[in-house]
Amino acid sequence: MGDPVTEYTARLQQQEQEIQRLSAEIKNLENSQNLSPSPRLEELREENARLKYRLNILKKSLQEESLSQRGKAMLNINKRLQEVFGEAIRVSCPELDNPPLSIAPSQQAKFGDYQCNSAMSMSQMLKAKGTKMNPREIAERIIKNLPDNELVQKTEVAGPGFINIYLQKTFVSKQLSNVLINGVQPPPLPSKKKVVVDFSSPNIAKEMHVGHLRSTIIGESMCRLFEFLGYEVLRLNHLGDWGTQFGMLIAHLQEMFPDYLTVSPPISDLQAFYKESKKRFDTDEEFKKRAYQCVIKLQSKEPEFIKAWNLICDVSRKEFQKIYDCLDITLIERGESYYQDLMVEVVKEFEKKGLVELDEGRKVVFPPGQPIPLTIVKSDGGYTYDTSDLAAIHQRIFEEKADIIIYVTDSGQSMHLQVVFAAAQLIGWYDPKVIRVEHTGFGVVLGEDKKKFKTRSGDTVRLMDLLDEGLKRSMDKLKEKERDKVLTPEELTKAQRAVAFGCIKYADLSHNRNNDYVFSFDKMLDDRGNTAAYLLYAFTRIRSIARLAKIDEATLKKAAETTEILLDHEKEWKLGKCIQRFPEILQKILDDLLLHTLCDYLYELATTFTEFYDSCYCVEKDRQTGEVIKINMWRMLLCEATAAIMAKSFDILGLNPVERM
């Protein structure tokens, strides 16, 4: 089923075109002789009127639903300020086309809560048009033309033309109450969009290593962000599950386990199996010939060779799944094999449009402005990764009908993907103004010696070994803090997994993905600074405040509906504003896909909460007896709002906090 509004609008447009055509036809005829109106025209006009009526009802219903949803959603204050100041700027200088609009949170409280820094740029634009106007004068004009709004308390011009913006405390207080009553709800999307995220993508018959860690963690977190914001997300695992290497694996399988068709072969160490077959392929000519024959039969889809291929893939899948289960990763497998039949059509389409050139027997495509071509057919007639990636992007655009396609691979793939995207645009598959296709590259994982992360023997670090080491280290840390003496065995195991896997994920996500980062268990398990260990402990402490004061969930829920959250103390106000910045942080990440921004915000929120908690009593106790004598409920609600935002941030980052740690 399509969108009803879109369907009705399309039918209306068709009918109105038909009405115009018939009206013009009748007018021409009436010029020569008196004719009665066309019955077809009257019929169309009646149906047109009915459609317009239905469309208006639908639009009104959708508008009411959107307003209702918007009322429950967290407001992006920066975006709302942009709307208010954008209108004032347009009225102040109507002669400027696309005047600059710059709104940002103030770095210091003395400069207000936000700043509008547009006046200086506007002054330069006016000067270029031959009009001299002081930036302060422009700033004054903007303030004078501000429309009535619900969130600005006062404004002032500072320095050369900055506008300091002070927010209404009652407005922010209501927004915080909304978070507690309705939960952490994202702003509604203007329209539902589909996102395809291609991430993780290990190779069959090879173990996942530390190089796959970043793609898996970053891709999962991006999916969670898009899902939270209301997008339809397709999480794809583009496995390396096809190619000539399967010939040697199947040939080796047939010799080692000749009854593999009836008895499942006991292959537990596929990496060793791969090495054995590769060694034979490199040294044994007869074996190499058999391997090539196996490739041909596999590509011809002979049943026994497909079964052998499936057996090998299944062993790898089980090993991959162990890692995905540890890291709480969800993926749909769609490897290179999925696109085999599509490659034929892709090559034909490029040839039909005259975009293929011959180069020493190879069929190549030269997208304009790119330094290298794509080889879509090898000289022996075989296909390449280029062909496979073109088939994949074609399928995602035309079959999946994706609005956004994201490839999460290391930065070494950037040139290859840039050429693939250019070829897809060259052939007319997508317009980058309509469909967003992006490579979110990332740097490599380094050891503490600042060199590529390796084992002592120089081998690539197995991902499963790394996760096991993380579990061991986190348990040591918990025992060092004597948590084993206060937690039940079940709670201790939950805390161990939360700390181990949370720290590994957060250490990756808290760095700018474009940069390399140093992998250090000591740093990531440190409970000081911007680490998962610190944030998980901080969250557990915030969650325990109400529990220790013996305030149950029902009491807090009722208080959220009846108690005004006061923001009179400077630390209350600072925390309230910080909580309310969550939607603008998510919007920034949506624009640049840099997840470390959320980690930086989460750390800022935790430290701002600590400042608040140290300065503002939430629960007042008798110093001698320790009995609770007063509960400042509005402050308890600030604690709950902080915890709610932290919990949602953890969920997006893939961290699993526990109540007791």
Contacts of 514 (CB under 8 A, 6+ apart): 411, 441, 442, 443, 594
pLDDT in tens, 289-302: 999 999 989 988 99
Residue 591 has pLDDT above 90, yes or no: yes
pLDDT for 3 beyond 50? yes
Confidence of residue 51 (pLDDT cuts 50, 70, 90): low
For tokens 């596999």, the residue is 298
Cβ atoms < 10 Å from Cβ of 343? 21
Q: What is the mean pLDDT of residues 86-90?
A: 95
585: helix, coil or strand? helix
Long-range contacts (CB closer than 8 Å, 24 or more residues apart) made by 599-603: 599/506, 599/509, 599/510, 599/530, 599/653, 600/510, 600/530, 601/649, 602/535, 602/646, 602/649, 602/650, 602/653, 603/530, 603/534, 603/535
Pairing type for strands 332-333 and 445-446 reads unpaired
625: confidence class by pLDDT, cuts 50, 70, 90 = confident
431-448 per-position pLDDT tens digit: 999 999 999 999 999 988
Identify the pLDDT of residue 27: 60
Percent of the chain with pLDDT over 90: 75
The answer to whether the Cα torsion of 597, 602, 603, 607 is positive or negative is positive
**Tally of CB atoms within 10 A around 624:** 6
pLDDT digits 0-9 by tens, 464-487:
999 999 999 999 999 999 999 999
Pairing of strands 517-518, 445-446: parallel
Report H helices in 300-407: 303-327, 340-352, 385-398
Q: Worst-scoring range by mean pLDDT, 49-53, 87-91, 552-556, 652-656?
A: 49-53
Chain segment 403-435, per-residue pLDDT in tens:
999 999 999 999 999 999 999 999 999 999 999
Give phi and psi for 363, each to the nearest 5: -100, 120
| Mean per-residue pLDDT over the chain, rounded | 90
Mean pLDDT of 270-288: 91
Q: Tell me the pLDDT band of 67, cut-offs 50, 70 and 90.
A: very low
- Where residue 12 falls among pLDDT bands split at 50, 70, 90? low
CB 294 within 8 A of CB 246: yes
The pLDDT of residue 461 is: 82
Q: pLDDT at residue 576 above 70?
A: yes
pLDDT at 31: 57
Can you count the helices (H) and strands (E) in the chain? 23, 16
